[in-house]
Amino acid sequence: MEKVHYTQEINITPQLMERINVLISHYPEDKRKSALLPVLHEVQDAHENWLSIELQNKVAEIIGIQPIEVYEVVSFYSMYNQKPVGKYMFEFCHTSPCCLNGVENLMDYTCDKLGVKVGEITKDGMFSVKGVECLGACGYAPMLQLGDFYHEHLTPSKMDQLIEDCKAGKITLLAEI
């Protein structure tokens, strides 16, 4: 299989650096590595929701660990994206309790509407659809995660509305710090 190397522009703003330093301060001075997971979240949030190899190297440098220590973590956890994703990534929970309340049909509906298959991004880079495992919202199914937030008790018409709201720029993706 051909390996594509995705690149991205790296921008560690002073504001981001300040937040990173706050996170690092939550652990003993000789345990900076412990901050890796929270730091990766913040860095990914500031970089269109994915982490290129170059960006991972940068995180290693900031924390003061080997790049391999970052790679092995990024590749283990499902929330870190190693290649570009849609601006609005619909992550539907497709675990059994949600299936009992029709999430599979709703995913089909959404994919048809956006003209993509599960795992794909729309041509304009705006949307992608993913199936993920239980998000801790089983009683409010069907549901999806979008950025830092959950959208619950969904129906086809609520899906239509959500897509419209995304297009109109009305949807907040990140929770305020």
Applying CB under 8 A, the residues found at the interface with another protein are 26-28, 31, 33-38, 40-41, 65, 69, 72-73, 76-80, 94-97, 99-101, 104, 132-141, 145, 148-149, 175-177
In Å, how far from its chain's centre is CA 90? 9
What is the spatial distance between Cα 35 and Cα 45, in angstroms, rounded to a whole number? 16
Choose the one of another protein, ligand FES, none that binds residue 18, judging by a C-beta under 5 to 8 angstroms depending on kind. Answer: none
CB of residue 5 to another protein, shortest distance in Å: 23
Cβ count within 10 A of residue 131:
17
124 or 175: CB nearest another protein: 175
Choose the one of ligand FES, another protein, none that binds residue 115, judging by a C-beta under 5 to 8 angstroms depending on kind. Answer: none
Going by C-beta distance under 8 Å and a sequence separation of 6 or more, which residues neighbour residue 19?
A: 42, 177
Choose the one of ligand FES, another protein, none that binds residue 19, judging by a C-beta under 5 to 8 angstroms depending on kind. Answer: none
CB of residue 48 to ligand FES, shortest distance in Å: 26
What is the spatial distance between Cα 28 and Cα 16, in angstroms, rounded to a whole number? 21
Give bridge partners of residue 93 from the DSSP assignment.
132
The tokens describing 23, both together, are: 């996170």
Sequence-ordered strand ranges (E) for the chain: 88-93, 127-132, 144-146, 149-151
First-to-last alpha carbon distance for the chain, in angstroms, is 41
- The residues binding ligand FES (CB under 6 A) are 93, 95, 97-98, 134-138, 141
DSSP 139: G
153 or 167: CB nearest another protein: 153
132 or 171: CB nearest ligand FES: 132
CB of residue 146 to ligand FES, shortest distance in Å: 14
167 or 170: CB nearest another protein: 170
Give bridge partners of residue 130 from the DSSP assignment.
91
32 or 158: CB nearest ligand FES: 158
